[in-house]
Amino acid sequence: MQTSITIEVRPTEIDVMGHVNNAKYLEYMEWSREDWYNKVNLPFDTLTEMNVGTVTVNIDINYRKEALLGEHLTVTTEPVRKGRTSYVLKHVIHNGEGERVADAEVTSVTIDLKARKSVPIPAELGKAFE
C-alpha cells in the first residue's frame, strides 16, 4: 500500500542556504513512515503490544532539488521488499509542481522490545508487502 502526507515547509526547517536543511528531509520521511504504519493498521501501540519495535538501520537518500520556505511537499511511502527480520520502505518527496525533491530507501529491522534483539517480521507487517 502506498500512502502520502502533505507538509508545509516552516521557517525552523530552513538552513543558512535558504532552503530545507538536509536533516529535515529525514524527519519528513519519518512522519510519512508513521502515517504508513497507521494506515496498514500497525500503529506504535499495536506493535508495542506485540513486543515488537522497528529500528532504522540504513537510509540511502538522494537529494534532487531544493525545497523552499512555504512550499507544500508531498511525501509518499510504499513497501519495497522484506527479508526475515528486515524490510525496506521507499519514500519520495515531490514539490507542488510535481518535481522530485528527494527520495530514499529506508531499511528497518524488527526487534524484541525486551531482549533488544532482532526477531522475524510479524505476519501482520509482512502482509503489507503482499
Percent of the chain with pLDDT over 90: 99
Of the residues 15, 35, 60, 112, only one is catalytic, namely 15
CATH architecture of the domain with residue range 3-129: Roll (3.10)
- Three-state SS sequence of the chain: CCEEEEEECCHHHECCCCCECHHHHHHHHHHHHHHHHHHCCCCHHHHHHCCEEEEEEEEEEEECCCCCCCCEEEEEEEEEEECCCEEEEEEEEECCCCCEEEEEEEEEEEEECCCCEECCCCHHHHHHHC
Percent of the chain with pLDDT over 70: 100
Domain ranges of the chain: 3-129
The predicted-structure confidence for 39-69, as pLDDT tens digits, reads as follows 999 999 999 999 999 999 999 999 999 999 9
Q: What is the pTM of this model?
A: 0.94
Asked about 15 being catalytic, the answer comes back as yes
* pLDDT, averaged across the chain: 97
